[in-house]
Chain A
Amino acid sequence: MSTAATSRRTIEPAFASPAAADYVAVDRVRKVYGTGTRQQVEAVAASTFTIKAGEFVALLGPSGCGKSTLLMMIAGLDLPSEGAIVVAGRPLTAPRAQTGIMFQDPTLLPWKSALDNVLFPFQVASRPAAGGNRLRAMALLDRVGLEGFHHHKPGQLSGGMRQRVAICRALVYEPDLLLMDEPFSALDAITRDEMNLVLMKMWEEEKHRTALFVTHSIREAVYLADRVLVMSRRPGRIVEDIRIPFARPRGLEIGETVEFNRICGHLRGKIDHRSH
């Protein structure tokens, strides 16, 4: 199957207009695990950055650097030890309804069909899972290439297909902020490329929702994002913040360009550099 969408869209600037306000502001956020001075582990060192509305930001770092912890805090699922997070102008203290999340595991309910899993957020919110919502869910599944699989159970789907369902579930209630925690890291390289394309297509079609994508794959970060933040080894701190200049829509072929590889090389150098 091919992306009919790519031809429909015109080329746009890599990031939203300069007028766009900071949608997510992370201010000197620090996370320390454990108690007592000796057992304390600093997972995230004081980190400050902002994400503008409509921007797709990748948070890149080696395994265990605290980038997932940072994402969980922005999701409101974990609280910072110090510092503050502001999302859409409001200080964050708990999960908010307008955030969509994808985890490393698809976390689908094994006894529900693909469609019912996509409709799960409505079930949770006691909102009707019929009518317009149901049509939207079905349309989303079709757009990620799951037409004909609406009534399959997760056990009958491949790993990539399950993550497609999870993408739909995160988008179905039209969140303004999309948080993704290494959603494709358990997939094989070929499926992963496919999933990057699907995600890119869905994001571009879904009116450029603000997105934060955590990954340890340099190429994935550069391919997907408008901006890449690099986190150092534990305790994680932001050591680089660069813009990715490629125009959208992007095809996988940009991965072969010199510019792409030059950016990847630069980022690799930043990760390897030990900052303390």
Chain B
Amino acid sequence: MLAASFDRLRAVVLPAAFGAGLLLAWQAVVVLFDYPKVILPAPSDIALALHADLPVIWQQAIPTVRDTLAGFALAAVLGVGLASLLSFSRLLRDALYPLIVVIQLVPKIAWTPLFIVWVGIGWQSRLTVATFIAFFPIFIAMMAGLDSTDRSLVRLCRGLTATPWRTFWLVRLPASMPYLFSGLKIAITLAVIGVIVAEFISSSEGLGFLILKSAALLRTDLILASITVLCVIGLASYGLVHAGELAVRRWQGG
């Protein structure tokens, strides 16, 4: 009894202690060596900035969250849709799958300026970048998932004279869920990155814009406060996908 609860306690206390230790060390270094706030604000400075400038950060967080979630959703629809389409046609699949795999090797962030040329500096370019960057992991994972379907199950369906559509809906789609969600998890973190980079390059709103503006004003504490909020957004959206995975798994009875 004691040993088990001690073990469970360790798994919570140790990482918490390590994180707290890091923050404390940071604070101590800043105080001891008297670093200027511009170079390295202490965690306490960041907390103060977070408190004082929360309305500004909040206002800039809204477009970032909106573009991230919209881009992610669009990428999910496109990725799952295209992968499903390709699973029905051998020829399409053989022709397009390798091309997409090659394209996804390209450093995708580098395309951001091109999208800005195409659709302007508004939310449309941020949405495009987020969709573009989040699409590939979803598509690739969905393809892998659809391919992973137990062959004997597919054969069973054929034996039962199920249509390809029924087979897809009843067997292949459910079987691909674990893969899809691992892709979605990568995609959601990438979608945040895409929006931030687009905001860095050319934008007049969003947390990326706020970070860059604060850098120009040498408000390092405000940069790190914005990043703190961004981390919360990143973790929350990741948690959302994870919750979706748990819900689907429960629904599938696994």
Contacts and interface: CB of A to CB of B under 8 A. Distances in A.
Contacts of B4: 34-36, 39
Interface string B1-42: 111100000000000000000000000000000000000000
Nearest to B3: A35
Contacts, number: 9
A39 B8 CA distance: 15
Nearest to A34: B4
Contacts of B1: 35-37
A35, A37, A39 interface centre (most CB from chain B within 10 Å): A35
Contacts of A39: 4
Interface in A30-47: 34-37, 39
Interface in A8-65: 34-37, 39
Nearest to B7: A35
A39 B3 CA distance: 13
A196 B4 CA distance: 42
A247 B157 CA distance: 55
A37 B4 CA distance: 12
Nearest to A39: B4
B180 to A, nearest CB: 31
Q: Is the interface of B mostly helix, strand, loop or mixed?
A: helix
Nearest to A38: B1
A36 B4 CA distance: 8
Interface string A172-189: 000000000000000000
A37 B1 CA distance: 8
Nearest to B4: A35
Interface in B38-66: none
A61 to B, nearest CB: 28
Contacts of A37: 1
A15 to B, nearest CB: 42
B235 to A, nearest CB: 32
Nearest to A37: B1
A39 B2 CA distance: 12
A39 B1 CA distance: 9
B33 to A, nearest CB: 47
A69 to B, nearest CB: 18
B206 to A, nearest CB: 50
Contacts of A35: 1-4
A36 B1 CA distance: 4
Interface string B135-174: 0000000000000000000000000000000000000000
B1, B2, B3, B4 interface centre (most CB from chain A within 10 Å): B1
Interface string B174-215: 000000000000000000000000000000000000000000
B2 to A, nearest CB: 7
B217 to A, nearest CB: 56
A37 B2 CA distance: 11
B154 to A, nearest CB: 26
Contacts of B3: 35
Nearest to B6: A35
Nearest to A35: B4
A37 B3 CA distance: 13
A111 B230 CA distance: 45
B44 to A, nearest CB: 42
B219 to A, nearest CB: 53
A34 B1 CA distance: 8
A243 B1 CA distance: 42
A274 to B, nearest CB: 30
Interface in A247-273: none
A38 to B, nearest CB: 9
Contacts of A34: 4
Interface in B82-96: none
Contacts of B2: 35
A81 to B, nearest CB: 12
Interface string B91-117: 000000000000000000000000000
Contacts of A36: 1, 4
A36 B8 CA distance: 14
A208 B7 CA distance: 45
Interface string A130-168: 000000000000000000000000000000000000000
9 contacts: A34-B4, A35-B1, A35-B2, A35-B3, A35-B4, A36-B1, A36-B4, A37-B1, A39-B4
Interface of A: 34-37, 39
Given A36-B1, A39-B4, 7 more contacts: A34-B4, A35-B1, A35-B2, A35-B3, A35-B4, A36-B4, A37-B1
